[in-house]
Amino acid sequence: MDRSSIAIVGVGAMGGALLSGLLEAGWTPADLTLIEAYEPRAAELREATGCRTVTVPSDGIDGQDIVVLAVKPQDIHGALLQLAEVLTADQVLVALVAGVPISVYERALGEVPVIRTMPNTPALVGEGITACAAGAHATADHLAMARTVLSAVGLVEEVDEALMDAVTAVSGSGPAYAYLLAEAMVAEGIRQGLDPATALRLTARTIRGAGTMMETSDDDPSVLRERVASPGGTTAEALAVMDRRGFVDVVREAVAAATDRSIELGEIAAGQS
Ligand SMILES: NC(=O)c1ccc[n+]([C@@H]2O[C@H](COP(=O)([O-])OP(=O)(O)OC[C@H]3O[C@@H](n4cnc5c(N)ncnc54)[C@H](OP(=O)(O)O)[C@@H]3O)[C@@H](O)[C@H]2O)c1
């Protein structure tokens, strides 16, 4: 495996998940530099991981192959001001920041290759899926480097940047849709007599198993669904209720609304730069 040297700017939930994934995937602490402004937290990270920590990008970016930016969207402009002083065009910026267009980075950083990504929270358990899109100065090699890094926390898809809003609505926000479905299944399972822990185990493994079936089967989800639903049976009865109550339309409207909101947030982020 090609182990690029990596600096992570912002070691919160997502940056921390990537850090754990990289260490599990074979990166060593010597390959990784963590940029964490708050020294007590930096000390904790040093202690826990053995990685070098610095409090400002100007001390940790020089010589890194890849710089991962994992700060919240509202912190992006401060971070870009710091990075603009030190990042060079022979490094790659892999941005994990939701909704911020590549144009914002390129305006701030000039010719630095940028890979914009959209991860999702199952990255925290190594089961994420991250979409990535390349900026104007990023080559296939840069994309391959980003893919290797992001693979540490799950699967990776390459998409055109124009599709990032749809990705955000489907896989970025998607875990919340699955949790809402789970909440409803658990609540009704409990009302029907299951104890809460059993109801949760049954639901969680059912959603996970259905996901694995979709990933491994050649059949479409609609075919898999039909196979569970024998005529006159219990599943058919449940699906008839979902159909009557417009389940599919509700979900489609929700995904469309998330896409629209992602477009709006991107426009705000671009306007602020
Ligand atoms: N978590 C998710 O579900 C998820 C999913 C998809 C995408 N993302 C994206 O991932 C990014 C990070 O989200 P998160 O949930 O991991 O946020 P988080 O837990 O708040 O982590 C962000 C970290 O960045 C630090 N930070 C802010 N400005 C910095 C700077 N200039 N230099 C160094 N560190 C800095 C913050 O420190 P302080 O706390 O001290 O400010 C914090 O530790 C976001 O842009 C989000 O859109 C997250």
User: pLDDT tens-digit profile of 39-83?
Assistant: 999 999 999 999 999 998 889 999 999 999 999 988 999 999 999
Tokens of 19: 């850090």
* 271 vs 88: CA distance, rounded Å: 25
Considering only 123-127, 129-133, 208-212, which range has the smallest mean pLDDT?
Answer: 123-127
How large is the average pLDDT for residues 101-109? 94
- Model pLDDT, residue 273: 61
Q: How many helices and strands (H and E) does the chain possess?
A: 12, 8
Class of the 172-260 domain?
Answer: mainly alpha
The mean pLDDT of the chain is: 94
Each residue of 64-92: b (16+ CB within 10 Å) or e? bbbbbbbbebeebbebbebbeebbeeebb
* 79 vs 99: CA distance, rounded Å: 16
pLDDT over 80 at 137, yes or no:
yes
Q: When comparing pLDDT for 48 and 272, which is higher?
A: 48
Q: Measuring from atom 40 of ligand 1, which residue has the nearest CA?
A: 38
pTM over 0.85: yes
* 226 vs 224: CA distance, rounded Å: 6
- Model pLDDT, residue 73: 87
Domain covering 6-164, topology: Rossmann fold (3.40.50)
Say whether 163 sits in a helix, a strand or coil. Answer: helix
42 lines ligand 1 (CB under 6 A): no
Please name the amino acid found at residue 43: A
What is the 74 CA–ligand 1 centroid distance (Å)?
A: 9
Q: 38 CB contacts (<8 Å, ≥6 apart)?
A: 55
How large is the average pLDDT for residues 21-37? 93
pLDDT over 80 at 272, yes or no:
no
What is the 9 CA–ligand 1 centroid distance (Å)?
A: 9
Tokens of 95: 């941005």
- Model pLDDT, residue 141: 95
Backbone angles phi, psi at 90, to 5 degrees: -95, 10
- Model pLDDT, residue 243: 97
* 111 vs 136: CA distance, rounded Å: 8
Tokens of 102: 């590549």
Q: Measuring from atom 48 of ligand 1, which residue has the nearest CA?
A: 14
Q: Provide the pLDDT confidence category of residue 270 given band limits of 50, 70 and 90.
A: confident
Domain ranges of the chain: 6-164, 172-260
* Pocket residue to mutate for ligand 1, from 9, 69, 71, most atoms within 8 A of Cβ: 71
**Percent with pLDDT over 90 in the chain:** 89
Q: What is the pLDDT of residues 172-198, one digit of tens each?
A: 999 999 999 999 999 999 999 999 999
Residue 159 has a CB neighbour count (10 Å cut-off) of: 15
133 lines ligand 1 (CB under 6 A): no
